[in-house]
Amino acid sequence: MSYKKILTVQDISCLGQCSLTVALPIISACGIETCVLPSAVLSTHTAGFSGYTFRDLTEDMPAIRNHWVKEGITFDAIYTGYLGSTRQIDYVADLFDSVSGKGCVNIVDPAMADNGKLYPGFDAAFVDAMKGLCGKADYIIPNLTEACFLTNTEYRPSYGRAYIDILLEKLTALGCRNVIFTGVSYAEGKTGVVVLENGQYAYYEHDKLPNSCHGTGDIYSSAFVGALVRGRTALEAAQIAADYTVACIRETGGDPNHWYGARFEPVLGKLIEALA
Ligand code: PXL
């Protein structure tokens, strides 16, 4: 197996099982060297906690980038998640040019919204800048809410294939050819992922579990990135990531003391097996 090195840019939520505390172990478990550029440090994630601390690391980014360029450091893939500021998005876009190795794959999870709403602290300027970053990506991984914000489309909790097709068309018009569209549900009790690759539509459906947990978007994206960089097709990677995310939600089992994240660690073995 060829040994790959990827860079992931997202926040450290010290507690909360999301972002880097999820991406690092999951991508490492996929057998890939995982380098990090933290976008911000928060005491917890912002979904359900109040009074969290937030240190924006935008100012540190140019010096880190310049050091890597001076050292000739490059990556096989760059995967971005939750970013700390609108201005930071330009720095991240620059990384796609300055530290990408030959054949580098750029993957953007526009982690900024869910359930019809932007996360606290994000605004229209951030959404506009994120549209530009998505345009520079090889793969984007939006959920339904993010797809609506990125395309100025009304958010509808229930919909059919025609609505999803319109969103896909508008998303690819941003400039990214490949869309991994998560949380697309066409039937009661089911959900799934749409994979649009070079204009080809595919859908992987699975059970929708009664319990849901925060941070599953980051688990999904990290497992997708790991499987893709390990050489799986986008559809195979999307399926592996979906099965793993479902296993994590099942493992968490709706424990009320564990509302802030999914217990992804005990089932890491399933992901490793899927990639064996
Ligand atoms: O899981 C997405 C995410 C990442 N990072 C922070 C968040 C969230 C979602 O709310 O608040 C800080």
> From the alpha carbon of 214, which atom of ligand 1 is closest?
1
For the chain, 276 residues long, the average pLDDT of each consecutive 10-residue run is 92 98 98 98 96 98 98 98 97 97 97 96 97 98 98 96 98 97 96 96 93 91 98 98 96 87 97 97
Ligand 1 in contact with 76 (CB < 6 A)? no
Pocket test for ligand 1, best of 80, 83, 119 (most atoms within 8 A of CB): 119
Residue 262: closest CA among 220, 204, 224, 225: 220
Residue 1, pLDDT score: 61
Which of 22, 11, 58 is closest to 260 using CA atoms?
22
Check if 38 has its Cβ closer than 6 Å to any atom of ligand 1: no
| The two structure tokens encoding residue 99 | 């530290």
Ligand 1 center from residue 15 Cα (angstroms):
11
Quick one: 188 exposed, middle or buried, by C-beta within 10 A (0-12, 13-18, 19+)? exposed
What is the pLDDT at residue 112? Answer: 98
- Cα of 146 from ligand 1 centre, angstroms: 13
Distance from the alpha carbon of residue 69 to the mean position of ligand 1, in angstroms: 29
The residue behind tokens 């609108």 is 86
Return the ligand 1 atom nearest residue 217 CA.
1
d(CA 135, CA 174): 5
Residues 116 and 145: their CA atoms lie apart, in Å, by: 5
For 142-201, what is the HEC assignment? CCHHHHHHHHCCCCCCCCCHHHHHHHHHHHHHCCCCEEEECCCCCCCCEEEEEEEECCEE
User: How far is it, in rounded angstroms, from Cα 145 to Cα 6?
Assistant: 27
* Ligand 1 atom at shortest distance from the alpha carbon of 111: 2
Q: 19 C-alpha vs ligand 1 centroid, how far in Å?
A: 7
pLDDT tens, position by position, 214-225: 889 999 999 999
Joined together, the tokens standing for residue 227 give: 């499987």
Helix, strand or coil, per DSSP, at residue 51: coil
Give me the count of residues in the chain: 276
In this prediction, residue 213 carries a pLDDT of: 85
Q: What angle do CA 259, 12, 31 make, to 5 degrees?
A: 95
